[in-house]
Structure 1
């Protein structure tokens, strides 16, 4: 089944690439006290509508409701999820996993089913999943959707060019690698990692608030994924069912329940991490989720000057303050 879907992704990418944004333009690298940061310019960030712009529309358009924008639909994922290309892609292969039920809202808890479908989708690409929830999370569309991005985040040609200049290749070029090492080293001596979901923990090496879970190597069930997700969230809030009044695309209002914080959720094959989000921007710079993984995409070179002045770790620390 995965081979069939991978072929559909390949073919649909050839049809969709003319409506997708070009890869980010590399700007520079910055070394922090614990991490290297890759800075790049991404034009999609300049043109993506904000949450307030969408909410101000009389009847907001739901891009995850049929009929889908021509060229963006890839395939169904089981009965109640679809795979789409992200029209505001931050990397060339940036997909979306959306629910077919338009009533499932981005600020409600993820369900075990959606977590399971998303986790299974990781094998479609060498990839990572992230999810944005809450008013400060960079989420602009209320319809439930998760992001599936291909790795590496940094173009191979840039990696090869810089490979002669640094011995810290893993950390320097592959932002995700450093997180994998940090997370997995936490339980490196535990034999229980094979089959037991261990308690969540904080990676104190990182310059921002976070909570992680190492996923067992065997028997990953929807319930295990849901427990890991709740364990990470519970490090920041005990209120997972706050009452919220939202407006649907047809203008009608309804009540939903969900966590009382904004956050990013990251899912890999081996671990899960939640990063709380306390503000949209700091010093005029907004950061999309993978900025917390070491790849910061900027709107222009002016932002590059600001981030060099205030420091990327200081930026992330302030964005994750609750």
Structure 2
């Protein structure tokens, strides 16, 4: 039997088709937001605030709590067939994000259970890059609960660009141009926390060379920020939580110290310049602190 593999040119039509189907079936429950642009440290941050109507609807549809520990329920085993988009490979499938804030938000999920604390492997990058070759998007990974991961089953994510109808397509890129490179790895002076940056050329993205180049780049970034591989139950995990952003021409990795600040949860998209708040009080916190300070407080000090 031939291994399952994504056919070129089929993913975006499948996303559009399945989105329409999932909306009709009630399987996809988009979260409506209002948007604001807040400029800080040379970045025009996009801050989305959930509408009160959407919040009530989300609460009404939320699953009732049951006995068990956090993460005991796994929505990916089995996944909802109404959210299934495509077979990417023998190891990964593409699913729609059930409670999406950004339209056509795609999850790239391992078929069998692997931990979200596990290091990404070559198969993960092959799946991510196969999807990135199909449409203009930003890939990302929340490496652990303290990095904003809400599910413990390994999954990468990709959102289409631009991130919003107004504002810059990818806000963080306004400061990335100033990166100081030492060989293949750089540091961005405008980012006041520990991180590592690399320039990348994924085209043609689906090639074996592009996959290996991205995989090698990822390991170089881990090494640059001092994250190591540790063995846990026969699986290689990272030594600390982190966020990874993968764009067609660059990669950014940020170690994390905590999942939230003043009640505001931050995942990898925060380091792309896109934050999410649940109410006016949280919006006021971001306005008072400044978005870059929010990022600095959930990241690791550049001096540590």
TM-score of the aligned structures, taking structure 2 as reference length: 0.82
Q: Structure 1 CA distance, aligned partners of 2:102 and 2:45?
A: 16
1:236 is the counterpart of 2:225: yes
**Is the 2:179–2:187 contact (alpha carbons within 8 Å) kept by the matching residues of 1?**
no
1:270 is the counterpart of 2:278: no
1:21 is the counterpart of 2:29: yes
What residue in structure 1 maps to residue 44 of structure 2?
36
Question: Unaligned 5+ residue runs, structure 1?
Answer: 160-172, 191-197, 245-253
**Is the 2:197–2:253 contact (alpha carbons within 8 Å) kept by the matching residues of 1?**
yes
Secondary structure in 2 matching 1:234: helix
**1:190-245: CA deviation from partner (whole Å, max 9, x where unpaired):** 9xxxxxxx52111112233321111146663332221100111112225222x44x
1:202 is the counterpart of 2:210: no
1:71 is the counterpart of 2:79: no
Q: Structure 1 CA distance, aligned partners of 2:213 and 2:67?
A: 35
**Is the 2:187–2:197 contact (alpha carbons within 8 Å) kept by the matching residues of 1?**
yes
Give the C-alpha shift of residue 55 in structure 1: 6.5
Q: Structure 1 CA distance, aligned partners of 2:179 and 2:289?
A: 30
1:139 is the counterpart of 2:149: yes
What residue in structure 1 maps to residue 270 of structure 2?
291
1:6 is the counterpart of 2:12: yes
What residue in structure 2 maps to residue 92 of structure 1?
103
TM-score of the aligned structures, taking structure 1 as reference length: 0.78
Note closer, same or farther for the CA distance 1:233–1:53 as it changes in structure 2 (3 Å cut). Answer: farther
What residue in structure 1 maps to residue 69 of structure 2?
56
Say how many residue pairs are matched: 281
Q: Structure 2 CA distance, aligned partners of 1:53 and 1:207?
A: 41
**Is the 2:19–2:28 contact (alpha carbons within 8 Å) kept by the matching residues of 1?**
no
Q: Structure 2 CA distance, aligned partners of 1:292 and 1:137?
A: 11
Note closer, same or farther for the CA distance 1:55–1:222 as it changes in structure 2 (3 Å cut). Answer: farther
Note closer, same or farther for the CA distance 1:311–1:128 as it changes in structure 2 (3 Å cut). Answer: same
Q: Structure 2 CA distance, aligned partners of 1:74 and 1:317?
A: 36
Question: Unaligned 5+ residue runs, structure 2?
Answer: 1-6
Cα RMSD (Å): 2.9
Note closer, same or farther for the CA distance 1:215–1:184 as it changes in structure 2 (3 Å cut). Answer: farther
**Is the 2:32–2:101 contact (alpha carbons within 8 Å) kept by the matching residues of 1?**
yes
Give the C-alpha shift of residue 28 in structure 1: 2.2
Secondary structure in 2 matching 1:264: strand
Give the C-alpha shift of residue 27 in structure 1: 3.9
1:313 is the counterpart of 2:298: no
Q: Structure 2 CA distance, aligned partners of 1:119 and 1:213?
A: 16
Note closer, same or farther for the CA distance 1:269–1:259 as it changes in structure 2 (3 Å cut). Answer: same
**Is the 2:147–2:266 contact (alpha carbons within 8 Å) kept by the matching residues of 1?**
no
